[in-house]
Amino acid sequence: MDDARAPAKKATPNPSTSAAAATATATTTASTATTIPNASASASGLLPAPSTTAGGGNNDAHGPLPLRHGHELPFVAPSSYLRPKSAPRAMPDKTAGPLDKEQMQGLRDIREFLKVRTSYDVLPLSFRLVVLDNDLLIKKSLNILIQNGIVSAPLWDSHNSTFAGLLTSTDYINVIQYYCQFPDQLNQVDQFRLCNLRDIEKAIGVVPLETVSVHPMRPLYEACRRMLKTRARRIPLIDTDDETGRQTVVSVITQYRILKFIAVNNEQHTMLLKKPVGELGLGTYTNMATATMNSSVLDVIHLMVKHNISAVPVVDEDYKLLNVFEAVDVIPCIRGGAYDELSATVGDALSNRAEDFAGIYTCGEDDRLDSIFDTIRKSRVHRLIVVDDDSRLKGIISLSDILKYVLLYGEEDDSIRS
Ligand code: AMP
C-alpha cells in the first residue's frame, strides 16, 4: 500500500475527501526509491523465528529468543544484509575524534537533504488514502480500519468541507479510558461518533493533541520539526486550493516513512553514522514500562497512557524480551465495540495479530546507527528493542528518538520548535 517506488513525474496532489471510507490514489515523486522487501516474519504469527539484530549481524549475540508455548513471537528472520559487527570499542574519547566528525558530517548532509525535499517527495508512486467522515460512528470506524489493514485515517468534516484531524490508536485508547471512568455508559459509548472524540478527551481530562498538519510542498525538514514538537508519529499533508480556499487531504506521512525515505536516499550519508547507539545514548534505558504475558490489555493501556508511549515490551520473569505490545494492537482488541473484553491477557491479544505482522526488531547497545539505517532501508521497522547478549531488555529506541537525533543533535538550538 505504501511502499516507495521508482522515480516518477511530479504531479498535482490528487484530492480524496469523500465520506466514510473513501479510497484514492495519488501520483508523486519518490526520488530514488526502491521496493522494500517485506520483512519475513514467521508464517502463522505464532511460530517461533529468530530475532533480527539491527546492526552487527551477529546473530549469536541477540539470537533466537527462548520459546514460550502460546506466546512465541514472530521475530523477524535474520537478514544477510546486515553489516558485520564492529570490534569492541574503547571508551569514547571526550574530544571529537574522526568518528565524531564523520558522524556530524553525516547528520549535516541528511539535514540538508531534508531541507531540499518536500513531504510530497516521500509519498509513494501510488497509494490508497482512506478518509473518514467525522459523523461516522466510532464503532464503525474501527471495522473500517481493520478491514483496510490500516491504523489511522484523516477525518473530514463534510458540513464545513474541512480537514477535521487525524484518527489514531490514541483516540481509541481515550474511548477505552472513558469507558473505564464511566462503565455504566456503554450504550452511550456505542453511539459516539468521530466528531465526539474531542468531547471524550475533555471528559477524561486529556489535553487535546494539537491538530497538526503541513502543506505537502513545504520542506520535509519542517514536517519533521513539527512532528517532534507535537510528538505526533504521523502528520497529515493538507493542501488548500488557491482559488476556492478549500482544503484537500493529500496523504499522511509517518516517522517510519520519513526515516525510510532518508535511509533509501542517503546511504552515502547514513554510512557515516558509525557510532554505537549505546554511546550516543539513543533511546530510553531507564524507567522502562514493561508488561508480562499475563498482564491484562487494560493494564498495559493504562501504562501507555501514563508514560505517553506507543509500545510496551513484554518480558518474562528474567526480564528476557518475549514480545512488544503496541498501541495499534489495541484496535483489534475492541473490534465491534468489545470494550469489556479488555481484561484479556496480553498473550491472548498478541496471538491474534495479523499474519503479515512485520515482527520485532532488536539491537544491542554496541550496534551502530548506520546498521540501524540499513535495517530501516530494508524492513518495516517501527522501533528497536535494545537487548543484551542474553536477550534481556536494556532499552527501547523509538523512531522518534532516531528522528530527534538526526534532526537536532549538535544543533545550537536543539529545542523542538516548528
Ligand atoms: P514512542 O511512543 O515510541 O514514540 O516513544 C516516545 C519516547 O518514549 C521515546 O523517547 C522512547 O524511547 C520512549 N519509550 C518508548 N517506549 C517506552 C517504554 N516502554 N518505556 C519507557 N520509555 C519508552
**Under DSSP, is residue 288 helix (H, G, I), strand (E, B) or coil?**
coil
Q: Is 311 in the pocket of ligand 1 (CB under 6 A)?
A: yes
Residue 396 CA: nearest ligand 1 atom is 12
Nearest-CA residue for atom 21 of ligand 1: 288
Residue 400 CA: nearest ligand 1 atom is 4
On the 0-12 / 13-18 / 19+ scale of CB atoms within 10 A, 302 is middle
Q: What is the pLDDT of residue 414?
A: 57
Walk across the sheet containing 52-53 and list its strands: 52-53, 361-363, 383-387, 393-398
- If one residue of 259, 306, 387, 396 were mutated to test the ligand 1 pocket, choosing by the most ligand atoms within 8 A of its CB, it would be 396
Helices (H), 208-254: 220-230
Q: Is 307 in the pocket of ligand 1 (CB under 6 A)?
A: yes
**Under DSSP, is residue 348 helix (H, G, I), strand (E, B) or coil?**
helix
Q: Is 288 in the pocket of ligand 1 (CB under 6 A)?
A: yes
Q: Is 400 in the pocket of ligand 1 (CB under 6 A)?
A: yes
Q: Which of 347, 405, 392 is nearest to 72 (CA)?
A: 347
Q: What is the pLDDT of residue 143?
A: 93
- Report the chain's terminal Cα–Cα distance, integer Å: 29
Q: What is the pLDDT of residue 304?
A: 95
How do beta strands 247-254 and 52-53 pair?
unpaired
Q: Is 326 in the pocket of ligand 1 (CB under 6 A)?
A: no
User: pLDDT tens string for the chain (418 positions)?
Assistant: 333 333 333 333 333 333 333 333 332 222 222 222 222 222 222 222 333 444 333 333 343 333 333 344 555 433 333 444 444 444 444 567 888 899 999 999 999 999 999 999 999 999 999 999 999 999 999 999 999 999 999 999 999 999 999 999 999 999 999 988 988 887 788 899 999 999 999 999 888 777 789 999 999 999 999 999 998 999 999 999 888 889 999 999 999 999 999 999 999 999 999 999 999 999 999 999 999 999 999 999 999 999 999 999 999 999 999 999 999 999 988 887 788 778 899 999 998 887 778 889 999 999 999 999 999 999 999 999 999 999 999 999 999 999 999 999 988 665 654 4
Q: Provide the whole-model pTM.
A: 0.79
Q: What is the pLDDT of residue 145?
A: 95
Q: Which cell is 146 given?
A: 481493520
Ligand 1 centroid to Cα of residue 114, in Å, is 24
Q: What is the pLDDT of residue 97?
A: 84
Residue 283 CA: nearest ligand 1 atom is 12
Q: Is 396 in the pocket of ligand 1 (CB under 6 A)?
A: yes
- If one residue of 282, 292, 372, 398 were mutated to test the ligand 1 pocket, choosing by the most ligand atoms within 8 A of its CB, it would be 398
Q: Which cell is 290 given?
A: 514493561
Q: Is 230 in the pocket of ligand 1 (CB under 6 A)?
A: no
Q: What is the pLDDT of residue 210?
A: 73
Angle, vertex CA 174, rays to CA 170 and CA 180, nearest 5: 140
Ligand 1 centroid to Cα of residue 305, in Å, is 11
Task: Provide the strand spans (E) within 329-377.
Answer: 361-363
Nearest-CA residue for atom 14 of ligand 1: 309
Ligand 1 centroid to Cα of residue 370, in Å, is 21
Q: Which of 84, 23, 90, 91 is nearest to 58 (CA)?
A: 84
Tracing cell 514493561 back to the chain, one arrives at: 290
Ligand 1 centroid to Cα of residue 6, in Å, is 33
Ligand 1 centroid to Cα of residue 405, in Å, is 14
